[in-house]
Structure formats: structure tokens, C-alpha cells
Amino acid sequence: MGSAASAQKTIYLEVDGKVQKIVFSQQSSSSDIKQILCTSAGLPWQTPIILVDSRGTLIATDPTIPGNSKYSPYRIICEDLSPRPEKEDVFHKLMTQVAEEFTRAFRISDLKREVNERITALERRVEAEGQKATDIEKCKLELRNLRDEIEERSGSRLSCSCKYNRSGDIIRINPRKDVHSYPKYTLSPETIETLKKPTFDVWHWEYNEMLSCLEFMYHDLGIVQEFNMNPITLKCWLLCIQENYRTNPFHNFRHCFCVTQMMYGMIHLCELQGRLSILELGILMTAAVCHDLDHPGYNNTYQINAHTELAIRYNDISPLENHHCAVAFQILAQPESNIFSNISLELFKQIRQSIIRLILATDMARHADILESFKQVISTFDFNSEEHVKTLQMMMIKCCDISNEVRPTEVAEPWVDCLLEEYFMQSDREKLEGLPVTPFMDRDKVTKPKAQIGFIKFVLIPMFETVMKLFPQIEEVMVRPLQEARDHYEELIQLEEAMAEVQQKKAEILSGGGKVKRNVESL
């Protein structure tokens, strides 16, 4: 009974001052519905008609007719009932154009839905077949033919999002189409286990292997199933993400993977799968993946001082972080890489707002405010409180973004070298362009120990110790390594100071020896 009722639609129609109730099947064609309407109005079924609501708005005469009530019935307008016969030719043309536009719009809509369903079925077949070469090539050909078909029959080309490069010129965001050539790696049990830990060595992995690890994380956390993601779309999205990270010394795709792997590790370490929803975990992971998209290698201070296109566009307010968000959603705007295509619009809006909030939280200019907000709720923290969870999420992405020193020394130190290289590139450019030189980036003043010690002592340790109050289990594997890194760099600074003192004394001795020699010669 419920199924039959749901297959019918009821509308109300005003005819000669009386309201009629009309019930028809949702499977009816547009011509069937027009015939029913004409019959109800006592008109020949061939009569050209249009349907309007109480405000005169045109209503499409097809199964998508919105339901109404008997207090706001629809009305039929046709040539015979037109109140202005002197303009009946214009009216007839208007009706014809409206009918043609509606027909074309719904034909294209039906066509796109049909083709998308066929594409999805083919893509799933490819995944199920284990990516056999012969089947893949056949499916590729079929997919290309389907895309050509929809473009030809709809009379339009599929749109593609775009982005801006460093100078502000528009360039294309091109996701990889050959997703089936993306190798699928089977992760060993040992790899899966170490992937959950901060000690994971991110330097031993090629890009394809990192992509496979990211794909595994999404499946393992239940995110793919929760959002009904097409596995091929997930692959395409990850490839597009990779291609939209630049080859900077530090802010590159390996850094993206590093941050996301740390997020995955913290989720397991802090046992968040039992405390946060899969929706909240998916937001954390996706924000981590996208948090530095298209980073130009020069920080917000440079953007603002140099009055770059990004700084102007975002009014000097977190220009880089706003840009990362924009690129992330430009990628998601493309059907080939929209991992959220199978969820409701309302849920997507919620996810979008949350991802934007988390990426903007990675701006270190907001560090003190976010840390203070977390301190205020930590003593009464409630996982059922939306505001508390939002604050925790911001703290987590901040921790993961700057977590390199949590890792073993042999993993962490190469990141310092990469960061200093990027810093020095910026300070060199600032000097060349006559801009204020960022002090901690000046190659003439900064050393590795000096670059790290203050950051570890006054940013990292206080932040992770605060998180430790909520999750005591991170003390041994995250806070302790930070304390050891602090001690390591303090020893290096002491060594640098001792070496500097030796060099100074050596110079003094050499200088004094020269004076003695001159005095002897003068006698």
C-alpha cells in the first residue's frame, strides 16, 4: 500500500471557479499529464496549454509537478481562455518556447542521470574485476563514448573548475582521467599497524604508495561506506589532490600525506572511533588531505607585504588558508573527483563548513585563540557537545599540521632541512623585492637548532601537553618525543655557542699575535 501511494501524485486544479482533485501516476509521461489536465478542464486533449500557480508562475506539466493544496490550486491557460486575444500570436509563441525549453531541460536531465548511472556501473565493474587490462581498456572506451554521447546530445560541453596560479592567472584543475593505471598496493599487516603510529617513516614511500595508504585509511575508518563513495571517484580525487600540491621543499604532497597519516594515527591512539561519528572522522581526514592545496611556498606574511593576488582577494585575512579551501572545493565541484556526490545537499553544506573551519584553523596567526578556547572547555569536555567537538577538531588538525618533531629524529630532521630551504627562499625573495625580511627565515641569522628550539618550547610542547589532559595516552608517544627533541636542540645550541666562543678566542689570539709581531719589528 505504501509503495503504491508513493507512486502517485495529487494536485488541485481550478476550473470555472471550482477546485478539482487530480491524481496521476508518477510514471506518467508529459503528454499523459497534459491529456489529463485538458480532460479535467473540458478541453480537447490537443489544446496547447500552460499551467500556472496562484502567483502566475509557470509550472512544468510533467511528473515533477510540485504538489499543492486545494487552497492554492493551479490554473490552466490556453488560447481559447486567453484574456487578450489581440496578442494571441505572441502568447502562442511564448507557450511554444516555454514548452520546448522545459522539454529540452528535462531531456538533458534524464540523459545525464542515465549516463551517470551507466558510468558508475562501469566503474564499479572495473573495480570488481581487479583492474584486468583487457576489461579496463574496454571500459575506458565505453566511458569515453558515453561522455561524447552526453556532450553531443545535450549540445553542451561538461564544465571544468579552475584555479589561480601565483600571479593570479587562471589555470585549469585537471584531475587524472587514467585512474585505472593507478597501481593498487596490498598493504602488509606490519604496514597497516605502523600506519597507525606517530613513528611511521614517511620518507620511504613513493607517491603511488602514499595514495594507496590514503585510500586504505578512508576504507578502514568506514568513511567510504558512510558517504557511499564510488571507489573510482575516491582514486580520482586523491590523484587530483596530489597534482594540486606544488613541488615546494616543504609544503608539498608528502607533507599532505604526513599530516593525514598523523591524523589517522591520533584517531587510533586517542580511540576516537568510539567517541566521534564517522562523519566527524571523515571531516578530520579530508581537511588534513586538503589543508595546504596549491601552497605557493611563501607564507601569509609575504603575501600580505607583497600585496599578492591572494592577499588582495582575501583582504589580508588568512590568504593562503582561504586559497587552500577554494582549491579543495573547486576539485570537489568536478563530477570525476566529487567524493561527496552521493550525499544530500544539506549534509554537503555541513561538511563544507566544517572543512573550511578546520583548514582556516591551521593559520598560526590564530594559534593562541584556538589553544585558549580548548583550555576553557577541557576540564568539562563533553563529546556530546557540538562546540566542544569543533574545538577538539581544530586542535587536532593543528597538532597534526606541525607534528614533525613528534616523530623519531631520523624522520623529523629532514623536515627541518626542507622547511629551512623554503624559509631561505622566502627571505631571499624578500631581500630582492625590498620587503621586510622575516627574522626566523633569514639565512644569515638562522641555524637549525635556533629555528626549532623556540618553536618546540613555546608552541609544540604547551599545545600537546594541553591535549594530553584529555588524552593521557599521548604522553609517552607524542609529548615525550617533543621533550627529547627540545633537549637535543638545546644541546646543539650549547655546542654552537661553545664553538662560537672558541672561534672568537682564536681570532683574538691571532689578532694579538699580529700586534706582538709588529711591536718586535719596530724595535
pLDDT tens sequence across 230-268: 999 999 999 999 999 999 999 999 999 999 999 999 999
Does 286 score more than 50 pLDDT? Answer: yes
Query: Quick one: CATH architecture of 2-81?
Result: Roll (3.10)
Identify the band that residue 145 occupies on the pLDDT scale cut at 50, 70 and 90: low
Full DSSP string of 132-173: -HHHHHHHHHHHHHHHHHHHHHHTSPPP--EEE-TTS-EEE-
Identify the band that residue 63 occupies on the pLDDT scale cut at 50, 70 and 90: confident
Contacts with 278 (C-beta within 8 Å, 6 or more apart), sequence order: 221, 222, 223, 226
pLDDT per position as a tens digit, 344-372 = 999 999 999 999 999 999 999 999 999 99
The helix (run of H) or strand (run of E) holding residue 271 is none
The number of beta carbons lying within 10 Å of the beta carbon of residue 130 is 9
Contact between 58 and 51 under an 8 Å Cβ cutoff? The reply is yes
User: Which range (117-126, 210-219, 370-379, 402-411) has the least confidence?
Assistant: 117-126
Contact between 27 and 63 under an 8 Å Cβ cutoff? The reply is yes
Q: Identify the CATH number of the domain defined by range 183-491.
A: 1.10.1300.10
At residue 72, the pLDDT reads: 81
Identify the band that residue 7 occupies on the pLDDT scale cut at 50, 70 and 90: low
At residue 170, the pLDDT reads: 35
Contact between 51 and 37 under an 8 Å Cβ cutoff? The reply is yes
Does 519 score more than 70 pLDDT? Answer: no
**Alpha helices (H) along 221-276:** 223-226, 231-243, 253-269
Does 104 score more than 70 pLDDT? Answer: no
User: Residue with C-alpha cell 471557479?
Assistant: 17
Contact between 281 and 355 under an 8 Å Cβ cutoff? The reply is no
At residue 500, the pLDDT reads: 81
At residue 113, the pLDDT reads: 60
In terms of Cβ atoms closer than 10 Å to its own Cβ (0-12, 13-18, 19+), residue 306 is middle
Percentage of the chain lying above the pLDDT 90 cut: 57
User: Which range (31-45, 348-362, 377-391) has the least confidence?
Assistant: 31-45
User: Residue with C-alpha cell 596530489?
Assistant: 242
Does 53 score more than 70 pLDDT? Answer: yes
At residue 477, the pLDDT reads: 97
At residue 498, the pLDDT reads: 87
**Alpha helices (H) along 306-364:** 309-313, 319-332, 345-360
Q: Break the chain into its structural domains and give their ranges.
A: 2-81, 99-158, 183-491
Q: Is 295 a catalytic residue?
A: no
How far is it, in rounded angstroms, from Cα 176 to Cα 236?
6
At residue 149, the pLDDT reads: 54
Identify the band that residue 394 occupies on the pLDDT scale cut at 50, 70 and 90: very high
Listed residue (394, 386, 387, 392) closest to 364, CA to CA: 394
How far is it, in rounded angstroms, from Cα 41 to Cα 37?
6
CA 335 to chain centre: 14
How far is it, in rounded angstroms, from Cα 117 to Cα 18?
44
Identify the band that residue 27 occupies on the pLDDT scale cut at 50, 70 and 90: confident
| Catalytic residue from among 180, 251, 295, 488 | 251
**Could you give the C-alpha distances from 466 to 222, 284, 459, 470, 487, in angstroms and in order?**
29, 19, 11, 8, 20
Identify the band that residue 166 occupies on the pLDDT scale cut at 50, 70 and 90: very low
Identify the band that residue 160 occupies on the pLDDT scale cut at 50, 70 and 90: very low
Higher pLDDT, 62 or 90: 62
Does 522 score more than 70 pLDDT? Answer: no
Does 272 score more than 60 pLDDT? Answer: yes
At residue 125, the pLDDT reads: 63
Identify the band that residue 112 occupies on the pLDDT scale cut at 50, 70 and 90: low
Does 501 score more than 90 pLDDT? Answer: no
